[in-house]
Amino acid sequence: MFDRAMDLQSGFQIEDPQVFIPWHIGEDAVRALLPSVKTVTNGYLTMECVFLHGLQHQLGFHFDRPRDGRLVEFEFFRLSYPDLEASYSEFQRHLEAAFGRPARSRLGDEGFPSHEWSNGGAAIRHYVLDRFGPEEHVRITKN
């Protein structure tokens, strides 16, 4: 069932740690809200968290330009994928519970579907990309 509380108009609610991240927040402000966040490079931070009704995963924060940039994209991923099919199914179940059925679906790489939603001025994409082997991607981008 679609969760109306998952409206992404203003930002993104993380369940654990329990914190709301508004769109267009700066890197330093994210670091202040989330002391456990790790800097991968300028313009990209990551942390472990829970979102989408109990889904534990890594969360990446992408900023529009290094240092003083503003948050423009969330990326969900796992550190390892011992069973890509199980991971894909789990993410998809949680995404559909939060955002409803995808607005668009098509066949993607490696035999996995590629799904897209539009929610509160944000685009949500779930797909598998064959780069150096199959990689699962879940991204939420502010339009």
- Residue 67 pLDDT grade (very low, low, confident, very high; cuts 50, 70, 90): low
Secondary structure (3-state) at 87: helix
Report whether the peptide linkage leading into residue 35 is cis, meaning its omega lies within 30 degrees of zero: no
Helix and strand counts by DSSP (H, E) for the chain: 2, 10
Residue 61 has what DSSP assignment?
Answer: E
Give dist(CA 68, CA 55) in Å, integer.
30
Q: Can you read off the two tokens belonging to residue 2?
A: 């679609």
> Tell me, what's the pLDDT at 68?
65
> Tell me, what's the pLDDT at 1?
41
Classify 75 in phi/psi space as left (phi over 0), alpha (psi -120 to 50) or beta: beta
Supply the CATH number for residue 82's domain: 3.40.1000
> Tell me, what's the pLDDT at 130?
84
Residue 53 has pLDDT above 90, yes or no: no
User: How many domains does the chain divide into?
Assistant: 1
Residue 113: count other Cβ atoms within 10 Å of its Cβ.
14
Q: Closest Cα partner for 126 from 71, 77, 82?
A: 77
Give residue 3's domain range.
Answer: 1-143
Mean pLDDT of 62-71: 81
Residue 75 has pLDDT above 80, yes or no: yes
**Model pTM score:** 0.88
